[in-house]
Chain A
Amino acid sequence: MNRLSFHQEPRLRGLILGAMAVLLSLAVTAPVLAAEASNWRPLASERLVKLPGAYIKKAIDQDFRGSPLATALGDVGTRIENKTQTLEDLRSAAERADGEARGELQQQFLAEKQAYIKLMGERQDLRRKKIKTRVRLYEALLRKMERRGEGASQAMETMAKNREAAKKRFADSAATVDMKLFNSSTATESKYAKEYAKNMAAIESLTAAINAHPMNAQPEFDGQPLSKQDYLRKQIAEGDSDLAVLDQEETILGYMAKLVALDAMALSEGLADDTLASGDNGEDLSSPASAIKFFITRN
């Protein structure tokens, strides 16, 4: 195989410089995407606030599915799948080839790896946008819910407490009062009391039906029912952990880009290793971690 130097092969030079540029751009800033083509602007509407906890997430997911951001994510996902297939094909082809064809294929493989990293970077940015938008929406909903309970002054809170105490004391003594007051034959139950008792039975069955309604179902965590506020806080915490995982995946992409740059340099100096790792059997390659075999194998 001819030894190619950095200065004599412009194509290789371009490849190496491109790899360095990808590495730098991943390390410093995220690529800027066309804003209009990948947007998702959900609103923290009153309708969302009023929905039962478990249905808030479903409504938000449905809104996301119809957004340009979801379309953009889908597009990038398809392109990544195609690129992954291309990488697989190139690697198999490079294994079987020899001589100058092998060198060409290796260069192509490097270029495709570079493009793959760029695509993964784009997808990371879109996913980050999605998660951040979702977290902001949950925070806005939570603020709206908390504002509904706020505004109660100290006096109102005291009043509410006194009222609750009065209701409790009344409820505890109502049966005793009924027995003592209406025990005698002279005192009979009033019309209000009879009608109230009749209506209470109807109210109780309606309340039971409302509580059993699927739209009223409370979200649960570990078998424990969660209030709407707690459910939103849990979703926000999950969003934050998703963002942390994304940060880690970006680190992986950074290392992949560095490996591509080193491979390009090695190829330009004619130090490529002839051995290749054995092929995989088509596992899921949607995350950076699952595609590392293309990068840790020197070819």
Chain B
Amino acid sequence: MTRTRTLTLAVAVVASLAATGVARAGTLENLERERAIMIETLLDPSLTAVERQGKIALSKNRLVDLERMVIRDKSLAGKNTPVVKKAFENYDLTFLVHASVEKNHSLMDHWLSQVGVSTKSVMDARVGRRW
């Protein structure tokens, strides 16, 4: 009886360990999250220039690794989800750090040019009703 109870307990422990699913984000999700944090840092008006530079430098290093992990992730090859499709449609927006260094732009300038914000468009903008 004791042996049976021990065996049952052992089976239950193994089953519970196996059933516990740990949610793991993919490489692309991690990259998207880190990029979003970095863009938030870029646009945060409450930060001083020095603080912003420090945070960007940290984010940049992390982003470099994450971008490389995404490019090297073979599991993304068979996925046709909207997130993956969008990610590879626009290299300049997805792989922000690599693309900005490649074009010799700062991160902020590169991102702004990708989303269509330029000095001219800001200067041409006017306050008015949106029809």
- Write the residues of chain A forming the contact surface with B, with a CB cutoff of 8 angstroms: 153, 155-156, 159-160, 162-163, 165-167, 169-170, 173-174, 176-177, 180-181, 186-187, 190, 192-193, 196
- Bound Cα distance from A156 to B71, whole angstroms: 17
Contact with A along B50-83 (1 / 0, CB 8 A): 0000000100110011011101100011001000
Candidates B76, B80, B95; contact of A170 at CB < 8 Å: B95
- Bound Cα distance from A155 to B80, whole angstroms: 8
A-B contact sample (15 more), CB < 8 A, given A160-B77, A196-B72: A156-B80, A159-B80, A159-B85, A163-B77, A163-B88, A165-B91, A166-B71, A166-B91, A169-B91, A170-B68, A177-B64, A180-B101, A192-B68, A193-B68, A196-B68
- Which residues from chain B contact A196 at a C-beta distance below 8 Å? 68, 72
Do A166 and B95 touch (CB < 8 A)? Answer: yes
Do A155 and B102 touch (CB < 8 A)? Answer: no
Between-chain CB contacts (< 8 Å), 14 pairs: A153-B80, A159-B80, A163-B88, A166-B88, A166-B95, A169-B91, A169-B102, A170-B68, A173-B98, A176-B101, A177-B97, A190-B64, A192-B65, A196-B72
Do A187 and B61 touch (CB < 8 A)? Answer: yes
- Bound Cα distance from A165 to B72, whole angstroms: 13
Do A170 and B65 touch (CB < 8 A)? Answer: no
CB distance from A155 to the nearest CB of B (A): 6
Chain A binding surface, main DSSP class:
helix
- Bound Cα distance from A159 to B89, whole angstroms: 8
Do B102 and A176 touch (CB < 8 A)? Answer: yes
- Which residues from chain A contact B68 at a C-beta distance below 8 Å? 170, 192-193, 196
- Write the residues of chain B forming the contact surface with A, with a CB cutoff of 8 angstroms: 57, 60-61, 64-65, 67-69, 71-72, 76-77, 80, 84-85, 88-89, 91, 94-95, 97-98, 101-102
- Which residues from chain B contact A173 at a C-beta distance below 8 Å? 98, 101-102
Candidates B61, B65, B76; contact of A163 at CB < 8 Å: B76
- Bound Cα distance from A180 to B61, whole angstroms: 12
- Which residues from chain A contact B85 at a C-beta distance below 8 Å? 155, 159, 162
Do A159 and B57 touch (CB < 8 A)? Answer: no
Which residue of A has the minimal Cβ distance to B65?
Answer: A192
- Bound Cα distance from A165 to B69, whole angstroms: 16
- Which residues from chain B contact A176 at a C-beta distance below 8 Å? 101-102
Which residue of B has the minimal Cβ distance to A177?
Answer: B101
CB distance from B67 to the nearest CB of A (A): 8
- Which residues from chain A contact B101 at a C-beta distance below 8 Å? 173, 176-177, 180-181
- Bound Cα distance from A187 to B68, whole angstroms: 17
Do B60 and A162 touch (CB < 8 A)? Answer: no
- Which residues from chain B contact A153 at a C-beta distance below 8 Å? 80
CB distance from B104 to the nearest CB of A (A): 8
Q: Given A159-B84, A159-B85, A187–B65 Cβ distance below 8 Å?
A: no
- Bound Cα distance from A281 to B60, whole angstroms: 88
- Which residues from chain A contact B102 at a C-beta distance below 8 Å? 169, 173, 176-177
- Which residues from chain A contact B84 at a C-beta distance below 8 Å? 159
CB distance from B106 to the nearest CB of A (A): 12
Candidates A159, A174, A181, A190; contact of B88 at CB < 8 Å: A159
- Bound Cα distance from A163 to B89, whole angstroms: 8
Q: Given A181-B64, A186-B57, A167–B71 Cβ distance below 8 Å?
A: yes
CB distance from B73 to the nearest CB of A (A): 10
Which residue of A has the minimal Cβ distance to B81?
Answer: A159
- Which residues from chain B contact A190 at a C-beta distance below 8 Å? 61, 64-65
Q: Given A156-B80, A167-B71, A181-B101, A162–B65 Cβ distance below 8 Å?
A: no
